[in-house]
């Protein structure tokens, strides 16, 4: 069983004042958007900062993009340390080509694997937000040699499928007849997200919480206890399932799903800094 520790990092106060000023004053030298051309697949938009290993790769949440507060703060942080960093948009999201309605968990998993195979060098610390945390797990299973560590933020492993399967049978039957499931949300202007039954069936093929997860790298799972979208218990389940013995679960009592407040981002940055220190010390 994975070793689970709910704690606050002692290294929080070890980053110097200058680095804190850099990290939270906004990105001063934002990276340029590039487009990766893939045979018979939509172009992927990404931003990359060259630097030392291990690098950091940020995986956004569902229907999100690489322009969020967390993604930009991590770029600034990696620049300050001189470590490489890459953030990107999934197919159909942000500046990447394609339509989100055509996307699946499998589509976005392939995007992540392409990034690891073609756009970065060496082992990476994967930082996954919400659905990005699920994709982070899938990528770590498929590319263990490229995964130095994982940091999940409000990780939504199996979440679409889990929530759907907890609906009453009558409701699921109605959804199957209509061919779509409309879920209320406060995270977009429409006020709802629509999932097709085909999307849900495809997503079910990528579930990870039903059996041991063959991941042995360091794992850090950060979750807000006030998360109204994905319960923090999902991170606890994930911690139980991964085979790694180096697993910490960090809970923020008043944290929300997005984890985008200044103190949330500080915790994420300090967590990654702690991992970089651990990984470089081991080397």
Of the candidates 108, 173, 95, the residue with the CA atom closest to the CA atom of residue 134: 108
Six token digits for residue 237: 């389940």
Q: Which residue has the tokens 């923090």?
A: 232
154 in catalytic set: no
Does residue 211 have an active-site annotation?
no
Our measurement of the distance from residue 94's CA atom to the centroid of its chain's CA atoms, rounded to an integer in Å, reads: 16
Active-site entry in 111, 227, 229, 264:
227
* 54: region left, alpha or beta (phi > 0 left; psi from -120 to 50 alpha): beta
* 224, 255 contact by CB (below 8 A): yes
| List 235, 257, 264, 273, catalytic entry | 257
Please say if 130 is a catalytic residue.
yes
Annotated catalytic residue within 96, 130, 154, 235: 130
Residue 28 Cα to chain centre, angstroms: 24
**Which DSSP state fits 6?**
B
Residue with tokens 């085909």: 198
CB 164 within 8 A of CB 174: no
Which residues are designated catalytic? Answer: 130, 227, 257
């Amino acid at each position: 069983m994975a070793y689970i520790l709910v704690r606050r990092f002692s290294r929080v106060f070890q980053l110097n004042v200058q680095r804190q000023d850099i990290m939270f004053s906004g990105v001063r030298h934002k990276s340029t958007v590039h487009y990766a051309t893939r045979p018979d697949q939509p172009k992927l938009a990404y931003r990359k900062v060259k630097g030392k290993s291990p690098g950091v790769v940020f995986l956004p949440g569902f229907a999100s993009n690489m322009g969020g507060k967390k993604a930009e703060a991590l770029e600034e942080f990696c620049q300050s340390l001189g470590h490489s960093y890459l953030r990107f948009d999934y197919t159909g999201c942000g500046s990447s080509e394609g339509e989100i309605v055509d996307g699946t968990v499998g589509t976005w998993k392939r995007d992540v694997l392409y990034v690891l195979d073609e756009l970065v060098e060496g082992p990476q610390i994967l930082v996954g937000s919400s659905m990005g945390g699920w994709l982070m797990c899938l990528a770590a299973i498929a590319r263990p040699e490229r995964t130095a560590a994982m940091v999940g933020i409000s990780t939504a492993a199996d979440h679409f499928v889990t929530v759907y399967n907890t609906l009453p049978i009558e409701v699921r039957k109605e959804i199957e007849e209509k061919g779509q499931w409309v879920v209320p949300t406060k995270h977009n202007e429409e006020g709802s997200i629509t999932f097709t039954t085909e999307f849900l069936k495809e997503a079910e093929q990528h579930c990870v919480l039903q059996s041991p997860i063959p991941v042995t790298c360091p794992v850090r799972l950060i979750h807000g206890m006030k998360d109204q979208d994905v319960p923090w218990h999902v991170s606890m389940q994930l911690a139980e399932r991964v085979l790694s013995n180096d697993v910490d679960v960090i809970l923020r009592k008043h944290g929300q799903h997005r984890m985008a407040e200044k103190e949330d981002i500080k915790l994420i940055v300090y967590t990654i800094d702690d991992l970089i220190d651990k990984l470089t010390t081991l080397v």
